[in-house]
Amino acid sequence: MRFLADAPRFLFFTGKGGVGKTSIACASAVRLAEAGASVLLVSTDPASNVGQVFGVSIGNTVTRIEAVPGLSALEIDPEQAAEQYRERIVGPVRGLLPAAEVASIEEQLSGACTTEIASFNEFTDLLTDAAWTAAYDHILFDTAPTGHTIRLLQLPGSWTDFLTEGTGDASCLGPLSGLEKQRAVYADAVAALADPDRTRLVLVARAQASTLREAARTQAELAAIGMERQHLVVNGILPAGPHANADTHTDTDADTDAGSGTPADGAADPLFTAIRAREQLALAEMPEGLRAAPTDYVELKSANMVGLAALRSLLEPEAVPAPAAVVDTAVPGAPLSALIDEIEAGGHGLVMLMGKGGVGKTTLAAVIAVSLAERGLPVHLTTTDPAAHLDDTLVGALPNLTVSRIDPAVEIANYTERVMRTKGAHLDAQGQAMLREDLRSPCTEEIAVFQAFSRVSREAKNTFVVMDTAPTGHTLLLLDATGSYHREVTRQLGDGIRLTTPMMRLQDPEQTKVILVTLAETTPVLEAAELQADLERAGITPWAWIVNNSIAAAAPTSPLLLARARNELPELEHVHAKRAPRLAVVPLLADEPVGIPALLALAAGTQPAPASVR
């Protein structure tokens, strides 16, 4: 594997949830340690399962992995770190400020920015304290800090004064208010990250257009702040044949299988063949910036990455497993059509699909919208997805369907200009730089986009409004706590006047149905569960879950896909039994559902025959 050749002291693994960061990081740590190096593996992933992967209890102390001499591991609990960090900031003012003001500060410090900064605070010593880390040749991090966090740490001036003066918009500078004494240490840590002789960033992706685009964005963002030595690992590719080499297999043309000399695992399975062709097309069309990065390709394995034997096999080619006995792949939950029937019964309302990127929210929003419109109901489908994607998905129009698109870039620009014109008007150049950086945060995008969503959501009193992508519970609470919506409007109108704010509409299950979308894999399920808790803290109870792209629900015949289907069943049972008040499971399709007939077929569970593979 090229990303491990001449490995520097620090390796950071980053990528979207569910792409296999933890597995790649663990397998890399094992390979380096078994080559004779002393290795420390550190996880800062909120959904970390490093201990589960190795079959040992790790936690927030350095733990030797006895089965691998030279390897130790450490799990930094981001939530625990964030809680301690919040208390360090809020504790001194508790009892001095009104309870409502303290609660507002705590909510400002409850978001993803606080968690990431607190985690970075925890592992700063690993980057800067040579005495503490001298025993290790390599330190591997499962999950890297984002470029936004690093830029915040590079800002000049006093974060504390900036927050105290009330010039920051409720976003990310609040979490930095307790770090003034850490500035010199953080500067050293950022310098270590930007030094290519000490640090290498490994971008982990799947052979899917969405995750490759995300990797390209991360690549550009981190390169802009000096982290330029980057490698790409494309994980989980369906193999060309039983003897394909994971280290050297780089073909991006499905037709090259014919020259491999061996039949592909999916030769008798149209699902396998079509999906592999789709993957190869995504690789052929990957963003230009990624093409220049040294790239390794890791083939999909039949087993879950748990235990040393599985980890040792991950970076090596695997023989296609022998055909297994018939596998019971019956999945729990209801078909998607059952959820749509229940939505229709309400006559009107707001339907919001939420979830991490890459799980299929846009497609499923389109499925629900066209199904309701086909039944003669007026529907407004709105999305923040690029126009071409939605147009390519729908490929047509329906009499009762209205489609609109919210451009996040435009909304952010308008919101930023408004804040800079008001709160930034009386700041000096340094203060304006800090405020502008604050406004580049993910929180700002959610707030700006939510303003546009709020305008559309009012239509749900008389029609169906289906929204693709929605703000998190943390953002909604910030809006509420800062008076941007609910409290501000209530104050302005005074007592005795009845009103319905966007927040109240979202909290009312009669008006709004929130649907969480995820995949039947450990990390995406954990992330969806965290999102559910986040929403419930804001008083919003998800109405249903959709598990998308389920291999088990697709009834494959390929031995490799059958093995993967077995691995999905525990996740599906967990979601059904403990997470979802309603659950629909959507099968992995041989062809992308493109066009209104295909979307309607997906909703009905009657898929057309796969199209011919290019």
State the catalytic residues.
18, 20-23, 45, 523
| Structure token digits, residue 440 | 């580049």
Q: Is the dihedral of CA 123, 4, 288, 15 positive or negative?
A: negative
- Count of beta carbons in the 10 Å neighbourhood of residue 37: 15
| C-alpha distances in Å from residue 149, one per residue of 116, 154, 186, 473, 599 | 8, 9, 11, 21, 39
Q: Could you tell me which residues come within 8 angstroms of residue 255 by beta carbon, excluding any fewer than 6 positions away?
A: none
Helix (H) or strand (E) segment spanning residue 474: helix 473-481
Integer Cα distance of 446 and 171 in angstroms: 10
Q: Which residues of 455-478 are buried (b: 16+ CB within 10 A; e: fewer)?
A: eebebbeebbbbbbbbbbbbbbbb
Helix (H) or strand (E) segment spanning residue 52: helix 50-54
* Nearest by Cα to 464 from 401, 523, 556: 401
Phi then psi for residue 65, to 5 deg, are -90, 95
* Nearest by Cα to 230 from 2, 41, 25: 2
* Nearest by Cα to 438 from 69, 217, 166, 250: 166
* Nearest by Cα to 470 from 435, 505, 437: 505
Q: Could you tell me which residues come within 8 angstroms of residue 61 by beta carbon, excluding any fewer than 6 positions away?
A: 74
Cross-strand pairs, 237: 299
DSSP 296: E
Identity of the residue numbered 427: L
- Count of beta carbons in the 10 Å neighbourhood of residue 490: 15
| Structure token digits, residue 80 | 């625990």
Integer Cα distance of 545 and 532 in angstroms: 10
* Nearest by Cα to 238 from 213, 211, 196, 273: 273
Integer Cα distance of 208 and 188 in angstroms: 36
Integer Cα distance of 19 and 300 in angstroms: 11
- Count of beta carbons in the 10 Å neighbourhood of residue 218: 21
| C-alpha distances in Å from residue 180, one per residue of 120, 157, 212 | 15, 9, 37
As a 3-state breakdown, the chain gives helix, strand, coil percent values, each rounded to 5, of 50, 15, 35
